[in-house]
Structure 1
Amino acid sequence: MTAFDFEANRAKLNGMRKWPHLLAVLGLALLFEPTRAPAQDQTVNPILNFEIGRYLGLWHEIASIPAWFQEDCVARATATYALAEEPGRLTVLNACQTAGGGRTEAEGRARLTGALNRGALEVTFVEIFGWWLWPAAGDYTIIALDDDYRWSAVGHPSRDYGWILSREESLSDETLKMIAAHFRAAGYDTCRILTTPRQDGEARVPLCED
């Protein structure tokens, strides 16, 4: 997501006491059914010449299409990517500020799909007894990326999800308009993409033109 990217409470399912959370996360997996085809004619295509090593590190969520699994997040959403111990995998740590002023986190795993130079990944936050469930993974399609990897536009084939990420905590209005144009070209309704608050109570602003 940020990707939030695909974001909620931490899914550490290492005991029977956490089975209720498993059911909630499996509900999230249903949102990413591969049988859900885009309704539009345009295809959400990933960028090429992608370098995963340059994508690692901390990203700030600047805007997103709010999803139910982010409903506890009121401000300052972030995503951090790092190499995982498992070969060919990345760790994904999503975090955000909650209404009470605290922070909540969700840890997951990501892996590239297809050629290594395509900005196409899948991300799962479902773990059972140390095993990450890839059938429950969601697509993470990078549709536009700054040449210096300073911002990223992430989509999903259903167009029900989208995120704008940045290395900095904010982006200029000009840059946001440019990124919104990438989403429109991919068939997104940019009025659904709302800015992410930097503090609780801050209004979300749609990226569509008046």
Structure 2
Amino acid sequence: MKSLTILFLVCATLFTGCQSRTSGNSDKQAAENLPPLKTVAHVDLPRYMGDWYVIANIPYFAEEGKVASIERYELRPDGKIENTFIFKKDSFDAKEKEWNAVAEITNTTTNAEWNIQFFWPFKVEYRIIDLAPDYSWAAIGHPSRKYFWVIARARTLDEKTYQGILARAAAQGFNISEVTKVPQPTN
């Protein structure tokens, strides 16, 4: 029940126009004051499916203290995507937990724009804004620029690649000083 309460609070915060940290505007208003996020030209969905380690993010309160975080995507026969967030809280020795959601592609031309739903009727916008040609890493953003994730197929990402991702995110209006690396086990 505690997990359900936390999940509800996360979704309520993300989907009801939570207050901006600096301007007092809602996420939607903040996004309206910025140019549209540029997504990648195309995402090969079957290739994108699978496990992605969360390398870094602009954490919102529900992600704080999460370690060994993994995003898992599985394409369903109906074209939607099962999204499972797997994590441990505060320690690699903690019990593994998971949150489940369903993603729907909102731009089938690029496959780079999704809405993720943790429970009805709340959805969050998910935009693939950067993607390695070999699908070894990706960057995900929210149009408000308040939420951002770097994910990779491996638990680590070389510093040059990571800094390049951050530079491209900054060029799209993300405050990269808020990006925090997510601890991943080394073995």
User: TM-score normalised to the size of structure 2?
Assistant: 0.83
Aligned residues: 174
Q: Provide the secondary structure at the position in 2 that maps to 1:50.
A: coil
Q: Provide the secondary structure at the position in 2 that maps to 1:191.
A: helix
Of the candidates 146, 162, 174, which is equivalent to residue 148 of structure 2? 162
Per the TM alignment, residue 150 of structure 1 is displaced from its structure 2 partner at its CA by 0.5
Structure 2 residue identity aligned to 1:53: P
Partner of 1:173: 159
Of the candidates 40, 46, 51, which is equivalent to residue 47 of structure 1? 40
Structure 1's 195 and 34: CA in aligned 2 closer, same or farther, altered over 3 A?
closer
Q: Provide the secondary structure at the position in 1 that maps to 2:114.
A: strand
Structure 1 residue identity aligned to 2:115: E
Partner of 1:196: 182
Partner of 1:93: 84
Distance in 2 separating the partners of 1:121 and 1:168: 23
Give % identity. Answer: 25
Distance in 2 separating the partners of 1:104 and 1:165: 19
Q: How does 1:1-210 map to 2 (within 5 A)?
A: 11=4, 20=5, 23-28=8-13, 29-31=15-17, 35-38=28-31, 41-73=34-66, 75-84=67-76, 87-99=78-90, 101-126=94-119, 133=120, 135-198=121-184
After TM superposition, what 4+ stretches of structure 1 lie above 4 angstroms from structure 2?
Answer: 20-23, 31-34
Structure 1 gap segments, 5+ residues each: 1-8, 12-19, 127-132, 200-210
- The answer to whether the 8 A contact 1:40-1:187 is kept is no
Tell me how large the CA RMSD over aligned residues is: 2.3
Structure 2 residue identity aligned to 1:110: A
Q: Provide the secondary structure at the position in 2 that maps to 1:114.
A: coil
Structure 1's 122 and 164: CA in aligned 2 closer, same or farther, altered over 3 A?
same
User: TM-score normalised to the size of structure 1?
Assistant: 0.74
- The answer to whether the 8 A contact 2:17-2:27 is kept is no
- The answer to whether the 8 A contact 1:49-1:117 is kept is yes
Which stretch has the larger CA shift, 25-34 or 112-121? 25-34
Residue by residue over 1:89-133, the C-alpha shift from the partner in whole angstroms, topping out at 9 and shown as x without a partner, is: 11001011113611121000001112332411110111xxxxxx2
Distance in 2 separating the partners of 1:59 and 1:94: 10
Structure 2 residue identity aligned to 1:76: A
Distance in 1 separating the partners of 2:61 and 2:7: 16
Structure 2 gap segments, 5+ residues each: 19-25
Structure 1's 21 and 168: CA in aligned 2 closer, same or farther, altered over 3 A?
closer
- The answer to whether the 8 A contact 1:143-1:182 is kept is no
Structure 1's 72 and 178: CA in aligned 2 closer, same or farther, altered over 3 A?
closer
Structure 1's 21 and 170: CA in aligned 2 closer, same or farther, altered over 3 A?
closer
